[in-house]
Every structure is written in structure tokens, then in C-alpha cells.
Amino acid sequence: MPLTDPNLDLAYGWTLGESGWHTGMDANLKRLGAIVGLSVTSRSTTTPPASPAEGDRYIVPAGATGAWAGRTDQIAVWVNGAWEYHAPKVGWLAFIAAEDRLAVY
């Protein structure tokens, strides 16, 4: 049974056949779920939360520690018990919940 992305409810985690097509598709669906309609909790939190909720997203600031060390400006997304990272592209728009404002990369 496929898993569901916590932000857009996209299904991934397929295990159909042995062609391997699902591996690339899973990565693409997880990426879409992470960045489409981007809303992050904060862009100033330097330490990953101890108990993140599924789908939590943060913009990693300079000086971040722990799992976020060396990931400055990337979007950190908690999915299936692990942080995944996405490097932003020029023009990406994100709502920063802690500041109640939009930011553009």
C-alpha cells in the first residue's frame, strides 16, 4: 500500500513490478509535496525540533546544528521519520509562519 505525502496527500511508496520506474516517481512526488504551496514553520530555528510532526518544513538558517548542519538555505522537511532537504531555486515563494509573512528566494 502506498504512503501518502503529509502536505499534498500525494501517494508514493509503490512497489509495482521490477522495472524501477517507481523509485524516480516516488522521489518526484515527495519533492512536490515538500515544495508546492511552500509554508515553513521558521527560517531562524537553528536546531532541528526534538519531535517534529510529519510534514514539518523549515528553512535552514546559517549556523544550524545537528541534522541541519551544512544545509544553510535549504528546505528541511520531516517525512517518514527523517529529514529530507531541497535546495531552493530563484523565485520560490514561501510563507514563514513564525513571521506571518511571505519570503522570496
| Short-list 99, 88, 103, 100, CA closest to 34 | 88
Can you tell me whether residue 21 is helix, strand or coil? helix
- Looking at the chain, the whole-number percentage of residues with pLDDT higher than 90 is 54
pTM of the model: 0.71
Span 2-48, pLDDT tens digits: 566 555 555 556 555 555 555 555 565 556 656 667 899 999 999 99
- Looking at the chain, the whole-number percentage of residues with pLDDT higher than 70 is 66
Q: If pLDDT is split at 50, 70 and 90, which confidence band does 103 have? A: very high
Question: Which grid cell is 54?
Answer: 510529519
Kindly list the domain boundaries of the chain, sorted by start residue: 3-104
**Mean pLDDT over all residues of the chain?**
81
